[in-house]
Chains A and B, each alone.
Chain A
C-alpha cells in the first residue's frame, strides 16, 4: 500500500460522501444538478493502473445509482469517462502526454481547463441521455447537460483550489 493508493481511496470516499450529503441536495432547478464526484476519475493519476481506474469508476457509479435510485446510469457514464480519459488527455495535452508529468490538481491552465471541460461534458451528456432514455426529452437533455456542466466545473475548480497540495 503506497500513499497514492491511500490518497485515491480517501478521495473516493470523501467525494462520494460530499456528493450524497451536500451536492445531491441542491435544488435550484430541474436543470441544475452538479455531480463533482467525477473529480475522482479526473484526478486519478495519469499513469496509474487502468484496470484500477475502470473498476473503481464502475464502483463509484454503482454506489451513486444506489443512492439516487437511477438503475445504472451513473455507472455507465462514469465507466465511459474512465475509458475515454486517455483520449481526452491526448486531445488536451498533446500526443506525448504520457512522458510529461501532468498534474490536474494544480493551477488552472488552458490545457487543464479543456481537459476538465471535455470530461464533464461527456459524462453529463451520457448521464442525462440514459436518465430520460427517450428522444422526446431532447431539449431537457441538452439544457441539463449545459447548465449542470457549468455548475459542476465551477464546483470542481473550487474543490481543486481548496485541496491543492501546497508545495511552495
Chain B
C-alpha cells in the first residue's frame, strides 16, 4: 500500500499530465470524428458574449460595404417586383400545399474564421430564435454554410470553407449535379466534384444549390465556374468554382428553415429500413 502511495506521490506530475492529455486528446479526436457533437464550441455564454462585444465595434468599419450590398439587393428585388407581368398578382406560393415551404430567420455573424482547414462562424441567434442544427445559412450573395451547434443565444456554423463540408449543388442551365467541397487552399474558390462528363460545361457558367438537399432550397447562387479539370480515371469533371460571396467579409445572414425537413427525413429513414 505504502509503495502505491509512494509511486503516486513520486509521479504525480506525470499522472496529472497524462490525465489532462487524455482529456484534451479525446476532445480533439471527438471533434474530428463526430463533428455534430463537439463539446467545446464558441456557441456559449462566455465566447459568444465576447465575440458580440468585439463585433459591435467591428461593425462600424464595414458599414459602407454592408450598405452597398443591401442597396444592390434592394435594387434586384425592386426590379423583380416591377417586372412582374401583373403587379396585382400575389407572390408565387407552393401550388400543392398553398403555403410557403421556407421560413427565414435574420441573424448576424459575430465571429468569422477562414484561415484554418476547418472553419466555423459564430452568429448571434440560437435556440431562442428557433435556430436548429442542420439549417442552411445564406446571405444576399449566396451560400454561407450549415448550422452546426446551438446554445440559447448563439449558434456556430460550419462554413463552406471547411474540409468536412459536403453540399449538393448543380449547374444552373443543365441540372447536372455534383458535390460541393473545399480543398483547404483558397478562400475564394470551392470545388464541385463528381459532375458527369456528359454535361456541357463552359467557363463562367453559374453553379447553384441542387434540389436534392434537405437543407437548402433549390437555386441559391454559389458561384461561377473558373476552371475545369478532367479526371482521366473516372467519368467525372472536377470544377473549380469562384464564389459570389467574399467569405472573409460577412455581415448579416439569413437562416433557412425548411418546414417539411423532419417529415422528409423520417419518411426516408422508414423507407430505408425495409
Interface, chain A (partner B; CB < 8 A): 20-21, 27, 29-30, 33, 50-51, 54-55, 58, 61-62, 65-73, 75-76, 79-80, 83, 130-133, 137, 140
Contacts and interface: CB of A to CB of B under 8 A. Distances in A.
Contact of A51 (B16, B25, B41): B16
A130 B118 CA distance: 12
Contact of A71 (B38, B111, B248): B38
A132 B28 contact: no
A62 B40 contact: yes
Contacts of A55: 16, 20
28 contacts: A29-B115, A30-B185, A54-B17, A55-B16, A61-B24, A62-B40, A65-B27, A66-B41, A66-B44, A67-B47, A67-B51, A69-B38, A69-B120, A71-B27, A71-B30, A71-B32, A71-B40, A72-B28, A72-B31, A72-B40, A73-B28, A76-B21, A76-B25, A76-B28, A83-B13, A130-B28, A132-B117, A140-B117
B20 A66 contact: no
A60 to B, nearest CB: 12
Nearest to B40: A65
B54 interface: yes
Interface string B118-160: 1010100000000000000000000000000000000010000
B54 to A, nearest CB: 6
A68 B27 CA distance: 14
A20 B24 contact: no
A80 B40 CA distance: 19
Contacts, number: 98
B211 interface: no
A58 B24 contact: yes
B184 interface: yes
Nearest to B186: A30
A71 B32 CA distance: 8
Given A51-B13, A68-B116, A73-B28, 6 more contacts: A55-B16, A58-B20, A68-B42, A69-B156, A76-B25, A132-B117
B31 A131 contact: no
Contacts of B70: none
